[in-house]
Amino acid sequence: MDRPKAEFNPSSPRSVAAGVFMGVMGGEVFIVQPGFVQGLVAHMSFSEEQAGLIASIEMAGFAAMTILLIYLTRRLNWRHMLSACIALTVVGQFGSMLTNELTSFAAMRFIAGLGCGGIVSIGFAAIGLTDKPDRNFGILVAFSGVYGAIVLGFMPTLYEYAGMQGLLFFFAAFAALGLPLVRWLPASGGVVQGEIQSRSPLPLGLTISALGAMFAYFLAQGVIWTYLFRIAIDGGLTEAQAAFGLTIAQFAGILGALIPTIVGARFGRGIMLAIAISAGVVPLLYFLFGTITALSYAIAVCIYNFGFNKTHPYLLATMASFDGSGRVVTYAVALQTLGLAVGPAVGAWLLGGNTFAAVHWFGIAAFVTSFTLILVPALHQSTQARAAAS
């Protein structure tokens, strides 16, 4: 009677590959959000504030679905939900091609966000069930960097020849590619291996602190990442110079993601998170007090993206270490996307006279808060793991 469960291995190469693809594909817009926001401003005539609010509305849909899935993933088949979310994404992308009016366009972005949020949530939860979450989340984030480098690199050309229509069509087609891979993912969180089942749950207070760290980190990311392209333009760079810097930054991000893939938790996640989050703060200090040139901008965003792509898998792996059901990862993805949803709106509110100083200071404060909140839970779990091993 248990044979179907025994046959499915969430750590098999094809299951991991499907989870990685869903994680990248579900983040297809957010990964290239600076270029997407630039397209809204330059090619659809939305203001910077309107573009930020559109991005925030899309991420609100993303967050709403991840929160809903906290309830649904315990009761419904993951594969069925994933197929429905892919369909929602395709509908939202094609619907966005049919309008350039603010309200209807934002509504279509909300629908696309709902679909993408479900795809990422289930994909990340599936990776959280694997026996090597540090490595597998690192692989996922590394491929996100590859995707970002390719798409951001081609965005100026795509805008020139096909406008926003071309980009939206690409998003729809890329999402549709996920349908044949759905069957390679677990049907529920009940497919768990013995080693993962043995993970001790974290005390409630520390779990709340860790989830708060996830929210604070991605709130900062939502504020900064949305306007990173516009920060370059505001500093006097051209679209091509900004796109080049962000494209190079994707490769730096791949390097950051490879560190947890290679190193794992060997030196402790607390130390690795301290280094990675610091790499997010330093570029913001430079933007505040330095002079932006094409070279300095490229270096700054490389450091920033290196830090983000190193932080993300370590945060997710830390969440996965708190239980063996994938549930905490689902909570974490919900808080992550809630932060990303609120972030662009906060950034739009902080913009005053088209200056980004308040945006930078807010990002620094939120990054520091995130590290403060994650440090104690990470050290607690590390101590428990060492005690269990001895």
User: DSSP letters along 293-349, please?
Assistant: -HHHHHHHHHHHHHHHHHHHHHHHHHHHTT-SSSHHHHHHHHHHHHHHHHHHHHHHH
- Counting every residue written for the chain, the total comes to 390
The predicted-structure confidence for 126-151, as pLDDT tens digits, reads as follows 888 888 887 888 899 889 888 988 99
Instruction: Compute the C-alpha angle 354/280/273, nearest 5°.
Output: 155
Least confident of 89-98, 169-178, 350-359: 350-359
Task: Identify whether 1 is part of a domain.
Answer: no
Task: Identify whether 270 is part of a domain.
Answer: yes
Separation CA 224–CA 363 (nearest Å)? 6
Least confident of 83-92, 97-106, 228-237: 228-237
Task: Identify whether 330 is part of a domain.
Answer: yes
CATH number of the CATH domain containing 258: 1.20.1250.20
CB 222 within 8 A of CB 342: yes
Domain that holds residue 375: 12-389
Separation CA 269–CA 55 (nearest Å)? 31
The share of the chain scoring above pLDDT 90, in percent, equals: 44
Task: Identify whether 2 is part of a domain.
Answer: no
- Residue that wins the pLDDT comparison between 382 and 75: 75
Which residues, 6+ apart, have CB-to-CB distance to 24 below 8 Å?
31, 140, 143, 144, 147
Pick the closest to residue 316 from 214, 205, 191, 218 (CA basis).
214
Separation CA 17–CA 23 (nearest Å)? 10
Give residue 2's pLDDT band: very low, low, confident or very high (50, 70, 90): very low
Tokens for 74?
């315990």
- Residue that wins the pLDDT comparison between 198 and 156: 156
The predicted-structure confidence for 263-301, as pLDDT tens digits, reads as follows 766 666 778 889 999 999 999 999 999 999 999 999 999
DSSP string of 164-230?
A: HHHHHHHHHHHHHTTGGGGGGS-SSTT---HHHHTPPPPPHHHHHHHHHHHHHHHHHHHHHHHTHHH
- In a 3-state reduction of DSSP, which class is residue 232? helix
CB 301 within 8 A of CB 228: yes
Separation CA 211–CA 335 (nearest Å)? 7
- In a 3-state reduction of DSSP, which class is residue 355? strand
Give residue 194's pLDDT band: very low, low, confident or very high (50, 70, 90): very low
Total of domains in the chain: 1
Mean pLDDT of the chain, nearest integer: 86
Pick the closest to residue 257 from 367, 149, 135 (CA basis).
135
Task: Identify whether 239 is part of a domain.
Answer: yes
With tokens 């945060």, the residue in question is 315
DSSP string of 151-166?
A: HHHHHHHHHHHHHHHH
Q: Tell me what pLDDT residue 325 has.
A: 58
Task: Identify whether 203 is part of a domain.
Answer: yes
